[in-house]
Amino acid sequence: MHLIDWLVIIGYFLLLFGLAGWVIRRGKNTADDYFLAGRGLGWFIVGASIFASNIGSEHLVGLAGSGCTDGVAMAHYELHAWCLLVLAWVMVPFYARSRVFTMPEFLERRFSPASRYVLSIISLMAYVVTKVAVGVFAGGVVFSTLLPELQLTLGPVTLNSFWLGSVLAIVCTGVYTVLGGLRAVAYTEALQTIILVFGSLLVTVFGLKALGGWSELQKVCGSEMFNLWKPLVPAGVEGSWAPVIETNAAGAVVRQAWYFNGNYPWLGMLFCAPIIGLWYWCTDQYIVQRALGAPNETQARRGSIFAAMLKLLPVFIFIIPGMICFALATSGRVDALRSAMFVDDKLVAENAQAAFPLMVQHVLPIGVRGIVVAGLLAALMSSLAGVFNASSTLFTMDFYQHFKKNASQQELVWMGRAATTAMVLLGLAWVPVIQGSKGLYHYLQSVQGYLAPPIFVVFFFGVLMKRLNAKGCLAALIVGFLLGLFRLAVDTPVALKLSGFETGYADGSFLWIVQNMYFQYYSVIIFLVSLLTLVGVSYATAAPAAERIQGLTFGTLSEDDRRKSRASWTAGDVIASIAVLLVIAAAYLYFSG
């Protein structure tokens, strides 16, 4: 890091906090303003904020690392931009009509108060073990890569660059998140989106320049790393259900238990990935809160469509740089990259997690490096800011306000700030579990795969089928959540390498089968069990009262509801949505050679 780089970073922070201060001064000390920005966010802010909240640590560290080890395999998840179109055209009308603060509140209106509280508990737990902990972990990875010698001694405790980076990312983000709420988060995320996209594109451009161009990248990585459908399979190994230990085409040692068609089996991608995608983009408070902050259905829909357009970028600004990093290291063009990631001529998956910051460190020129580091920090901070605000909203509006119905607006805001602080501490405590996992992005997708299916089921089938009732919803949430919690309880001791679990469970035992079943297959099992529970219990008990679910399902929409929704969009919205689908189709075709 040169002095010019540091000046660029300082300039970024001054601009960021200046914008945050301006937004905070314009805000009001009310719950509506703090949690939903007074429902005054325009489509550009909604879309940019959704994108910035999503594009965070798991992409900078995990997705680029996945590109380095597995090529474009994880692009399946990133090309799920179509899920945002489902949010725009299917779910936004229901959310906009209901005028709710949270996703659990919407579930209460559709089903019952009990389902609201169960979903809130599941969501808060999910935020601790995924978004907060992952953001903290990735901040540490970035700082330990860029500033490895940095450390601070406080009495008997010495903090290395990993933990200093983690804490710094939290403190900087927490300042404006706690003070300004969603309004500060949304406006700063719009700025961070611009910096993030520009900075990440510079990594791709300078990386390709150092490598010798796109054709050289294809030559070094080979067709397998450029193919979404042809998995990285060791020579002579065909699809099998037998557990194996092998190395992939990039040289990384991986354990592929319950092996079927490679590291990312197409069956899992076909059935599990859409479940996780639709849950995340259409029902998760972390994302949908931005759409709830829009003044009307039109702005919420257009913001979601704009976010879908932005979501097409990560394949090219995160996965491709990871592949470039692998190519530069393998070809010997940048010796520092090879020494950082390879051991005995084998690519170490854990080291590959630092692919993006390593590219920043060894490929970019002075000045440009500062811009990209600012982009790195922007992504880390925006994802943390989003989850802090979502967590405080869930806890305050779904729990605290329920038990203290006469709480003042100022008291609700204060409680939201306290809830944010608590989530940070819990996230810090969970970081060691991530450090013991197979990789950041794999960890994130697997945990979400365990927690997402029952939520997806009750939301989507809840608006599609008016016959489903509160008892079915509650049963599906509880059964699905317990199945996911069971898998986490089985995985965690092995990830932490606790005493007696260093080598996992006894081969062939029931717990060994559960722990080694590929996470996507286990996720599909949770989905099927949750769906059968929802439908079975609902049809075995009384149907919900028609007046209670009026306007909350497709079958109970009035003609006035349909007319207002139709008036909220134009031909331009349809054309933009079709354009997103065409780009997705083109990407699938290109990466299927």
Band (434; pLDDT cuts 50, 70, 90): low
Separation of alpha carbons 432 and 343, rounded Å: 23
User: Which tens digits make up the pLDDT trace of 489-525?
Assistant: 888 787 767 677 767 788 888 888 888 888 888 999 9
pLDDT of 173 higher than 80: no
Tell which phi-psi region holds residue 59, choosing left (phi > 0), alpha (psi between -120 and 50) or beta: alpha
Residues 181-198 have a mean pLDDT of 78
Phi, psi torsion values for 165, nearest 5 degrees: -65, -40
User: Rounded CA gap, 94 and 292, in Å?
Assistant: 11
Q: Confidence band (pLDDT; 50, 70, 90) for 256?
A: very low
Whether 391 and 127 have beta carbons less than 8 Å apart is answered as yes
Q: Are 323 and 347 in contact (CB under 8 A)?
A: no
Dist CA 530 CA 113 (whole Å): 19
| φ, ψ of residue 154 in degrees (nearest 5) | -120, 90
Q: What is the DSSP letter of 37?
A: G
Answer for the pair 171, 7: CB distance below 8 angstroms, yes or no: no
What pLDDT shows up at residue 303? 94
DSSP letter string, 484-531: HHHHHHHHHHHHHT-TT-TT-SPTTSHHHHHHHS-HHHHHHHHHHHHH
Report the SS3 class of residue 346.
strand
Tokens representing 88?
């725009």
CA distance 532 to 1: 56
Structure confidence at residue 178 (pLDDT): 67
Question: Both tokens of residue 54?
Answer: 């999503």
Contact 570, 301 (CB under 8 A): no
Q: Could you tell me the pLDDT band of residue 440, with boundaries at 50, 70 and 90? A: low
Of the candidate ranges 2-16, 23-37, 78-92, 468-482, the one whose mean pLDDT is the lowest: 23-37
Structure tokens at 63: 């997705």
Q: Which distant-in-sequence residues (6+ apart) come within 8 Å of 247 by Cβ? A: 234, 253, 254, 346
Residue 302 CA, distance from chain mean position: 21
User: What does the pLDDT read at residue 553?
Assistant: 93
pLDDT of amino acid 412: 80
What is the CB neighbour count within 10 angstroms for residue 418? 13
Question: What confidence tier does 259 reach under pLDDT thresholds 50, 70, 90?
Answer: very low
pLDDT at 246: 45
Rama region for 430: left / alpha / beta (φ>0; ψ in -120 to 50; rest) = alpha
Would strands 157-159 and 244-247 be described as parallel, antiparallel, or unpaired? unpaired
What is the C-alpha to C-alpha distance for residues 39 and 32, in angstroms, rounded to an integer?
A: 7
Tell me the torsion sign for CA atoms 303, 85, 480, 477.
Answer: positive
Dihedral, 533, 536, 539, 544 alpha carbons, nearest 10: 0
pLDDT at 84 exceeding the cut of 70: yes
- φ, ψ for residue 157, nearest 5 deg: -105, 130
Backbone dihedral region of 534: left (phi > 0), alpha (psi from -120 to 50 degrees) or beta?
alpha
The predicted structure's pLDDT at residue 242: 38
Q: CB burial class (10 A; 0-12, 13-18, 19+) of residue 514?
A: middle
Measure the CA–CA gap between 548 and 288, rounded to whole angstroms.
24
Q: What's the burial of 521, exposed, middle or buried (CB within 10 Å: 0-12/13-18/19+)?
A: middle
Strand partners of residue 152: 159
Q: Six-digit token pair at 552?
A: 């909350």
The residue among 546, 98, 435 whose CA lies nearest residue 300 is: 98
Structure tokens at 219: 């030559």
Q: What is the DSSP string of 296-308?
A: SHHHHHHHHHHHH
Residues 6+ apart with CB under 8 A from 363: 203, 206, 207, 210, 328, 334
**CA 96/CA 92 separation, integer angstroms:** 6
Q: Reduced to 3 states, what is the DSSP secondary structure of residue 247?
A: strand
**In angstroms, what is the C-alpha Rg of the chain?**
23
**Structural domains in the chain, sorted by start:** 3-33+46-590 (1.20.1730.10)
Q: Supply the pLDDT for residue 526.
A: 95
Element (H, E) at 244: strand 244-247
Assess contact for 468 and 537: CB atoms under 8 A: no
pLDDT at 444 over 60: yes
pLDDT digits (tens, 9 = 90+) for 87-129: 999 999 999 888 888 888 999 999 999 998 888 888 887 777 7
Give the DSSP letter of residue 568: T
φ, ψ (nearest 5 deg) of residue 153: -105, 125
**530 has pLDDT over 90:** yes
* Helix, strand or coil, per DSSP, at residue 342: strand
* pTM of the predicted protein model: 0.80
